[in-house]
Amino acid sequence: MNPLQIAKSYFPPLCHWVPEHGAKRLEFYSDILRQEDATVIKTIFDLGDKNKIIYHSVYLKNVVTEASWGHSPTFTKSLPKHSVPYSYHDYIDAWFKFMLHQNETMTHSWFINFDKEFDNNADLPLWFIRWWNQFGSDIEIFPKPLVDCFNFWKQGFKVNAHNAKFPALLHFVKRFRVPWILKWQYEKEGDILTRHWYVKWWDKFGYVSQILDNVYRRPPPKQLISSAQSTSKAPSTSSDIDKLSKDDLYALLKKKIEEEKEAENKTSEEEGSVAESPVAQSPRYPYPQPYPKDWFAHDEEYDENTPDLGA
């Protein structure tokens, strides 16, 4: 029996988990997020079959914290068109359940990005780390210039103690509105049925150059300036250093980071170390190459969510 048939024999119809309550199905959780203004979801139908959903685009607008929910996470709110109310625990579940939407052929995928209205200065609840680890983007799918840019950016990025608990990549993606594509399928591993999540870079993302320009032209942290000046071929006097233009200094810092990266890679090769594979590092997997037919239906997606590079 293939993995999908096993899942269909175990889960209720049109459901990919065992509901804790008969009324708490996919629509219930999706409506919670709509009511809380957490997401904006756009449904894309197959051109040849208007009843078949091939993918959704979802923009993340807001994540409600327990502190802003009310006096207790068990406090419930009514939900129009549903017979049962929802609590903060249901709200958290909604973030995980709505991503389990699938079509009959298991070819559904998600186009995901942070919305322009998302407040980058707001503290995220700690449970969002678990959401990101399961559904978030992965540095493995970034084009190399953006990987280098991210490595440069995170050395100077400062956050408070709470936000320091979240992955740097999450901060980068929501700061620069970098989209990703995600889908899932069932896999059978021995006697265990699992879900495998796959992520892919959106080839039509048109703002990489703007992000690079924004990051490399930002004033770098003082410790990087000091390190670059002491280890690179630089003028020997402070007066000469003062004459360096900003562009020259950023180029110098970028070169130093690249040199350090090359040195680390060389050391790794000499010691015979093997980098951990993406599969071992993350529960998400990069899309297989070449893509199977019908796996990727986002070529015509138009992302109006231009990254906010000003602040």
How far CA 272 is from CA of 259, 269, 287, 294, in Å, comes to: 20, 5, 28, 40
Number of domain units in the chain: 1
- Tokens for 218? 């930002």
Whether residue 242 is contained in a domain is answered as: no
Residue 245's pLDDT band, with cuts at 50, 70 and 90, is low
Mean pLDDT of 117-135: 95
Domain that holds residue 40: 3-141+179-206+274-286
Residue 273's pLDDT band, with cuts at 50, 70 and 90, is very low
Whether residue 257 is contained in a domain is answered as: no
Q: For the chain, how far is it from start to end, CA to CA, in angstroms?
A: 54
Residue 220 has pLDDT above 50, yes or no: yes
pLDDT reported for residue 282:
45
Whether residue 110 is contained in a domain is answered as: yes
Select the more confidently predicted residue: 113 or 230. Answer: 113
Q: Are 294 and 105 in contact (CB under 8 A)?
A: yes
Residue 310 has pLDDT above 50, yes or no: no
Least confident of 16-20, 122-126, 222-226: 222-226
Q: Measured between alpha carbons, how far is 82 from 59 in angstroms, rounded to an integer?
A: 24
Whether residue 304 is contained in a domain is answered as: no
Residues counted in the chain: 311
Q: Measured between alpha carbons, how far is 150 from 173 in angstroms, rounded to an integer?
A: 10
Select the more confidently predicted residue: 7 or 36. Answer: 36
Residue 95's pLDDT band, with cuts at 50, 70 and 90, is very high
**Its pTM surpasses 0.75:** no
Whether residue 125 is contained in a domain is answered as: yes
Whether residue 103 is contained in a domain is answered as: yes
pLDDT digits (tens, 9 = 90+) for 135-155: 999 999 999 999 999 999 999
Residues 6+ apart with CB under 8 A from 117: 61, 62
Whether residue 212 is contained in a domain is answered as: no
pLDDT digits (tens, 9 = 90+) for 61-80: 999 999 999 889 999 999 99
Across the chain, mean pLDDT equals 78
Whether residue 116 is contained in a domain is answered as: yes
Place of tokens 């990025």: 157
According to DSSP, the β-strands at 284-286 and 192-200 are parallel
pLDDT digits (tens, 9 = 90+) for 171-185: 999 999 999 999 999
